[in-house]
Amino acid sequence: MRANLSRARAAMPGAKVWAVVKADAYGHGLLNAMRGLAFADGLSLVELDRAVQLREAGWRKPLMMMEGMFDPADLDTMAGLALQPVVHNDEQLAMLASFAGPALDVHLKINTGMNRLGFRPERLHEVFGRLRGMRAVRTIALLTHFANADNPQSAPSAELQWQRLREQCAGLDAEISLSNSAALLHQPAIRCDWVRPGVMLYGGSPGGGTAASFGLRAAMTLQSRLISVQALQAGDSVGYGSVFTADRPMRIGIVACGYADGYPRHAPTGTPVLVDGVRTRLLGRVSMDMLAVDLTPAPGAAVGTPVVLWGDGLPIDEVAEAAGTISYELMCAIAPRVRREVRGDLSIMAAATGHA
């Protein structure tokens, strides 16, 4: 994570970094990410209870709440812990207008083409003015989010979205946060005060190239081992539905990992798996606790042989693509029963957050 954060910084020198840690830091564990990303300028997430946890764990730098408050009561917590909410709709404006607690730093979200959250660009000046008039508001920053930063063929382009924002914010004294991972890696012309990388910090590609080609390193390795080896005859099939049938005698291995661990059930035969460091393929249907692999390329494999499902030596993006999804979804889906082992220099991490 630390190396990938440096990579994100290098993509836009001088910009400050909101490291995005929503969804339990994309499945990596929020407090692990707090340490791994300790040199970020701020952390950005959506879950209020998790922001409280970050403060309790000693994170003193800024925290941005990317969906803002859901209820008026959220403002008490946010003001008390100096959390910085995004304000993206009129309901939230009304909550802020009637909030009597301490003032907050807020982020005004402009919808420049994603059409999920935010005020249309024509309303920027009006809403900015209203926020400036509220006693519950201390500073106002601006943000927008790009829909197609990884793909120049899709409209609206990141350039066009950026332009829509710039047209409206001329003359306003406000910091702007823009680039997600895709924009950082594909849109070198876009400049802003703060960037908001997520998946690249964890070593996933946001699209348009491999993680390795972007100089990113896997933060997560999902590993297990073989718990059974079977010798199939031609005509034997494996697993539920018997969707894979051997056309010749072959050895297969059974790996202790299934969809209840977060491995995608819809990964088909052929999805890459590493057995003892050797690349092979998934066979048949993934079950709840197990999956089957072809041991033809790893004749020495036996019960106990280590298996990597993704991570070190096997890019998560390749597994995601085989399964018809994206690395983001695989990372987030790691199940609670999977045993976590954290590696890294915890003393450096502690030094950077100021806490052991």
Size of the site for ligand PLP (CB under 6 A): 13
> How many residues are listed for the chain in this entry?
356
Range in contact with ligand PLP (rule: CB under 6 A) among 125-133, 151-159, 193-201, 222-230:
193-201
Q: Is residue 197 a contact residue for ligand PLP (CB under 6 A)?
A: yes
> With left for phi above 0 and alpha for psi between -120 and 50, is residue 23 left, alpha or beta?
left
The residue among 22 and 281 lying less far from ligand PLP, judged by its C-beta, is 22
Beta carbon of residue 66, minimum distance to ligand PLP (angstroms, whole number): 5
The neighbouring-strand residues paired with 44 are: 20, 64
Which residue in the set 32, 180, 187, 280 belongs to the binding site for ligand PLP (CB under 6 A)? 180
The residue among 198 and 264 lying less far from ligand PLP, judged by its C-beta, is 198
Assign 3-state DSSP to the chain and report helix, strand, coil percentages, each to 5. 30, 20, 45
Which residue in the set 36, 198, 253, 262 belongs to the binding site for ligand PLP (CB under 6 A)? 198
The residue among 31 and 201 lying less far from ligand PLP, judged by its C-beta, is 201
User: How many whole angstroms separate alpha carbon 356 and alpha carbon 179?
Assistant: 31
Which residue, chain included where needed, has tokens 């994603």? 114
DSSP string, 171-226: T----EE---HHHHHH-TT---SEE---GGGGT---SSS-TGGGT---S--EEEEE
Q: Interface residues for ligand PLP in 204-223 (CB under 6 A)?
A: 206
Q: Interface residues for ligand PLP in 122-151 (CB under 6 A)?
A: 145
Q: Interface residues for ligand PLP in 217-256 (CB under 6 A)?
A: none
User: How many whole angstroms separate alpha carbon 328 and alpha carbon 321?
Assistant: 11
Residue in 26, 61, 240, 263 annotated catalytic: 240
259 annotated active-site: no
Range in contact with ligand PLP (rule: CB under 6 A) among 51-59, 174-182, 186-194, 316-324:
174-182
Q: Interface residues for ligand PLP in 336-355 (CB under 6 A)?
A: none
61 annotated active-site: no
The residue among 168 and 181 lying less far from ligand PLP, judged by its C-beta, is 181
Which residue in the set 20, 45, 165, 331 belongs to the binding site for ligand PLP (CB under 6 A)? 20
Distances (CA, A) of 219 to 168, 260, 281, 313, 316: 39, 21, 23, 12, 10
Q: Is residue 7 a contact residue for ligand PLP (CB under 6 A)?
A: no
Which residue in the set 196, 211, 238, 319 belongs to the binding site for ligand PLP (CB under 6 A)? 196
- Which of 291, 255, 247, 261 is CA-nearest to residue 275? 255
Give every CB contact of residue 186 below 8 A, 6+ residues apart in sequence: 149, 150, 152, 158, 208
Q: Is residue 195 a contact residue for ligand PLP (CB under 6 A)?
A: no
Q: Which amino acid is at 1?
A: M
Residues with catalytic roles: 22, 240
Residues binding ligand PLP (CB under 6 A): 20, 22, 66, 145, 180-182, 196-200, 206
